[in-house]
Structure 1
Amino acid sequence: MSMQRRSSARRRVVPAAVGSLVALSLLSAVSAGAQPAAGAQQAAEAQPGGGLPSRAVPQSRPVTVAEARTDAYLRSLRSRPASLRGFFVSLPKGGDLHNHLSGAVSTEYLIELAAEDGLCVETATLTAVAPPCGPGTRPAADARRDHAFHDALVRTWSMQDFPPGGNGHDHFFDTFGKFGEVTWRHRGKLLAQVADHVAGQNQFYLETMVSPASDGARQLAAEVGWDADLAALHRKLVAGGKLDGLVAAARKEADDGDAEFRATEHCGTGRARPGCRLTVRWISQASRGSAPERVFTQLALGMRLAERDPRFVAVNLVQPEDGNVALRDYSLQMRMVRYLRGAYPRAHVTLHAGELWTGLVKPQDLEFHIKEAVDVARTQRVGHGVDLVHEDGWQRTARTMAARQVAVEVPFSSNAQILGVKGAEHPFTTYRRYGVPIVLATDDPGVSRIDISHEYQYAAATYGLSYPELKDLARASLQYAFLPGASLWQGNPTTGGYRVVPACRGERPGLPVRSAACQRLLYGSPRAELEWRQEAAFAAFERTHARTTR
């Protein structure tokens, strides 16, 4: 979802079962089987056209002795919640590919930053505003000693204690406008807090979304104006070095953020914090609720930036997909992405699509968003994809995604909090049956009050996933990341299984690599190097739990 405050009129929504500890309360029992949970499987097959696809994803794969012992240990924890939580925290979990930086920061840290910057808070709305603190406001620093004020800010700036049956959709998106005055000031500090947390969750990689050179992009879009001829509009942006000027501004902004991050994390010193070891890449976001010329300018900037600066890898469209302008311009925006993909073939694309549900929009608006993201925009990944089975010809879309290995990014908690969709209603099992790659993600963990371990634990409990299946989900989060270089895995690992490429076959993760061919792969491919690092972490993890079960 978006890091932008929703500006369109409110819509009726399905009441979300919100508050992650309520909406996604984790079952203590974790199934031993490799099959999806029976209820979820039956629900999926009962959906329109829900028969098995012609080439369904394999339901099992060869399991090693260490994996079997680790799975047995996982099943033994069903009545020990604290130990179960510890298992999922220590489980290697690859990368987080769907993460909004401002929504990922803990609310408590946002309050502290607001206090450090001398910001004020409107007492009526609890919205952070710039100083000085006049009538109707109070210093954010008051939250350091006024616990009631602090707790009120936490509830307003996140989903903490949000009542079941409330309008989770609007509250969730409104939080970004409440703390927005805080987040734009300190990209480096925000990243430091998030990176430490991600590393502490035993992840190795992060792709997080920001709006580069946002003010400059808005000004350039206003200067150039709209032109329905996208090629002509692009020429106007490029003419006279205008777009390159924005790229330079965005890179300077990133340099400043990097410096703040390194200073905050003490990188390169004896006091370096865990976040220094994390591989981080930026995804440039465009505000889908804006005027067409601004959306196009932001997309063009993000894609040009991805080809000029390796820190930036892709673009995405953010803000509520059900907003008035977002609905009106959806097909136009898919055509924008399609055109710009031709102009910037080395830039990657992932798109929020299908973050919709019945009752939120007209039935007609549920019919085509994922399909157009895949067929028109040619996206490489889909964010959310919740309304899949409500789309026209959804089976074909699912088969296309499987054939092209278009991964779907699944953040269970935000889907429940915003859309009220969870359990058997969620298309997780349907995507799996069709062989669509799936990566678990957090979306806005600071707002949702969750972490990636929570999402893995929820998946295991709700859909009866075994340890080998969880392991392959973690592998997918690096396989489908926008990392350069060849993969450690052969072919299509989602349907064919995670089989090591011949160059590294016979090597043992965690031990010195003997093969010259494997060494060349790992040293020459950032993707394969991170995948090998995760395999070494899995080997250590399984050794620990294999000993536990003896």
Structure 2
Amino acid sequence: MLRLRFVLLACCCLTGLRADDFGARYDALRAAATPAQLYTFLYALPKGGDLHNHFGGANRAEWMWAVLTDPTRNGGDTFYARERFAAAPDAIAATARHHTVRQATYDQLSPAVQREYVALTAMTAAERRGWLDGFRLDAPGEGRDVFFDDHWPRLGDINDNPHVRFELLAENIKAFAAEGLRYLELQFGVTGLHHNDLTPLSDDEALALLEARLARPDVADTGLVVRFQEMVLRFAPDAEAELAKTYAWVDAHRDRWVAINMAGIEENGHGYPLRFLETYRRLRAQYPTLPLSIHAGEMDSPDRNIRETLLLGASRIGHGLNLLGDPETLLLLQHSDRTLIEINLISNRLLEYVPDLDRHPFPELLRTGVPVCLNTDDRGMWDSNLTDEYYTAVTHYNLSWAELVALGRNSLTHAFVEEPTKARLLADYDAAVTAFEQRFAAGSVADALALLDDVAPVTYGYGHRNWGFPFAEVSR
């Protein structure tokens, strides 16, 4: 046992030395790289996991359009969006514009309302552009209110169709795998789905369709490990009952579902953490432990929500933005490796919680010992990817090579995946980082930067708008 400990300590020391050695090379590469080359380098960088990801907000508008207009991918359904109004357009609520429904829902509308809906396949070019833009936060003046009040209601029936839901899941998996991700933990459910005639799918039917889609070669061959969380809307009137149902579901499906999450805008005070303390204690008396990752501290002002969310049993905190305003809890987390803060830089900027990212708490948390990782949150509605998060972090906070590697490792160390798979993912990540270092350590700095010519990075609207990158907007 003593010999094993010595070997492990030696390996850890060598890993640290190796990271430090490449750190100087990384600094030289950063200094010499153009912004586009730095982005390409980070796109090729091996990454750990994306742990904070709302599936409903993760789907790019172009992906949704492609699936909704292709009957071979959407189960033979037809989709309509509300685009043509009898009243003056400025008299129509923003939430009504682009509201999207399935054929069976459309058939139930009155003739007058049907005339305001247009089949996606019959839209004009201008209507299509408007529909696409209606699902992303990309215009001046858009922010938190547009996101919460307009974008989500517009989704309508999109995620009610199981074929659409699972095709969009496949698009996410393929895009993340292309960025070098190893593990994806989505807030994703399969209950409450409906056939084209709106009769409900049973849970067994939905699970069978899900597993069949994940088994197809385009997804399976990516090698990306995928697990799910079930999410409870915490400010709902019946949130305690929903939490109990969700707990039972996850307990019964632990092969795919690994955790409970609670979300919902914190400004709505009805979802305060202590509301659920007795419910969680009752559930823990009934079921073996389930991990909890709960949104907390996504607020403009200090409060005790993070501390009280830890009391619920959470071992991961989503956002944690106002943690610096609670020094006692900050000190607790600085001296404990148990709790990870899931950082979402682009989300926090676009939703105006941290409009000036130079004032974000991320670097203070990172550099005072609080475990953190980078995540995409609602990447489809930001029109962004995980590389955008890394590029934002590197350019705003001067991240070192050791810090970049630690972010990926933290995401896997704190993943809720089963332990044998976690060990494999960590070993694979370490090996990939070593190979990456060796590749870019060879030759001169100019030689290393020339290797980036063989990388085909992908960026979307966020990268185009904010940095002017010329890279293609493709799914993979």
3-state SS, counterpart of residue 442 of structure 2:
helix
The residue that corresponds to 1:372 in the other structure is: 308
Q: The residue matched to 1:148 in structure 2 has which SS?
A: helix
Question: Matched residues in 2 for 1:346 and 1:368: separation?
Answer: 25
Partner of 1:120: 80
Distance 1:353 1:65, change over 3 A: closer
For residues 169-215 of structure 1, what are the alpha-carbon distances to aligned partners after superposition, in whole Å with 9 as ceiling and x for unaligned?
01122312212411231332111000001101101100000244248
The AA in structure 1 aligned to 2:169 is L
Partner residue of 2:413?
Answer: 479
- Which of 381, 399, 421 aligns to 1:447? It is 381
Assess, with a 3 A threshold, how the Cα gap between structure 1 residues 427 and 337 changes in structure 2: closer, same or farther: farther
If the length of structure 1 is used for normalisation, what is the TM-score?
0.67
Measured against aligned partners, the alpha-carbon deviations of 1:24-48 in whole angstroms (never above 9, x if no partner) come to xxxxxxxxxxxxxxxxxxxxxxxxx
What is the CA distance between 1:450 and its match in structure 2? 0.9
Per-residue deviation, residues 375-428 of structure 1 (Å, max 9, x unmatched): x202010001112233xxx12212323425200000100111113404232211
* 1:169 and 1:418 in contact (8 A); partners too: yes
- Deviations, residues 344-393 of structure 1 (Å, cap 9, x unaligned): 333110001111114xxxxxxx421111001x202010001112233xxx
The alpha-carbon distance between structure 1 residues 74 and 198, as it changes in their structure 2 partners (threshold 3 A), is same
- Deviation string 1:134-176 (CA, Å, 9 cap, x unpaired) is 2111111134xx322122112211113x20xx25001122312
- TM-score normalised over the length of structure 2: 0.77
- Structure 2 equivalent of residue 323 of structure 1: 268
- Paired with 1:69 and 1:94, the residues of 2 have a C-alpha distance of 22
Please say if 1:398 is aligned against 2:308.
Answer: no
Would the aligned equivalents of 1:77 and 1:83 in 2 still touch at CA under 8 Å? no
1:381 corresponds to 2:381? no
Deviates more, 1:273-282 or 1:452-461: 273-282
Paired residue for 2:234? 288
Aligned equivalents of 2:359, 2:155: Cα separation in 1? 32
**Cα distance in 1 for residues equivalent to 2:281 and 2:43:** 39
Corresponding position of 2:206:
253
CA distance in 1 between partners of 2:20 and 2:295 (Å): 39
- Following superposition, the deviation at residue 276 of structure 1 comes to 4.3
CA contact (8 A) 2:69 2:79 kept: yes
Matching residue of 2:454: none
Question: Does 149-158 or 471-480 show the bigger shift?
Answer: 149-158
Deviation at 1:305, TM superposition (A): 3.1
Taking the aligned partners of 1:383 and 1:451, their CA distance within structure 2 comes to: 18
Aligned counterpart in structure 1 of residue 290 of structure 2, from 333, 344, 347: 347
CA RMSD of aligned residues (A): 2.5
The equivalent residue for 1:410 is: 343
- Deviations along 1:38-75, whole A, 9 cap, x unmatched? xxxxxxxxxxxxxxxxxxxxxxx645465235413432
**Would the aligned equivalents of 1:211 and 1:286 in 2 still touch at CA under 8 Å?**
no
Identity %: 27
CA 1:451–1:215 in structure 2 vs 1: closer, same or farther (change >3 Å)?
Answer: closer
Work out the number of aligned pairs and report it.
394
Mapping of residues 215-294 of structure 1, within 5 Å: 250=203, 252-262=205-215, 266-267=216-217, 272-273=218-219, 276-292=222-238
Q: Which moved more, 1:531-540 or 1:65-74?
A: 65-74
Q: Which residue of 1 aligns with 2:5?
A: none
Which residue, out of 220, 241, 262, partners 1:297?
241
Contact 2:297 2:306 in 1 (8 A): yes
Aligned to 1:460: 394
Which residue in the other structure is 2:457 paired with?
A: none
> Is contact 2:299–2:353 with CA below 8 Å preserved after alignment?
no
The letter of the residue matching 1:130 is R
Higher relative contact order, structure no. (Cα contacts within 8 Å, ≥ 6 residues apart): 1
Secondary structure of the 1:289 match is coil
Deviation of the 1:81 alpha carbon: 1.9
Aligned partners of 1:406, 1:249: CA distance in 2, in Å? 36
CA 334–424 in structure 1, closer or farther in 2 if over 3 Å, else same: farther
The yes-or-no answer on 1:419 pairing with 2:419 is no
Q: Which runs of 5+ in 1 are unaligned?
A: 1-60, 217-247, 359-365, 486-524
Distance 2:172 2:156 in 1: 17
Question: Any idea what the Cα deviations from partners look like across 1:291-331, whole Å, max 9, x if unmatched?
Answer: 13xx22332233333333211000111222222533xx542
Aligned mates of 2:384, 2:115 — CA distance in 1: 36
Q: Closer, same or farther in 2 for the Cα pair 1:338/1:453, shift >3 Å?
A: farther
How far apart in 1 are the matches of 2:100 and 2:29?
44
Task: Tell me how far apart the structure 1 counterparts of residues 364 and 20 of structure 2 sit (CA, whole Å).
Answer: 29
5+ residue gaps in structure 2?
1-15, 71-76, 84-91, 108-113, 195-200, 446-476
Mapped pair 1:136 → 2:116: yes
C-alpha distance in 2 between matches for 1:121 and 1:70: 52
Specify the alignment match of 1:431 in structure 2. Answer: 365
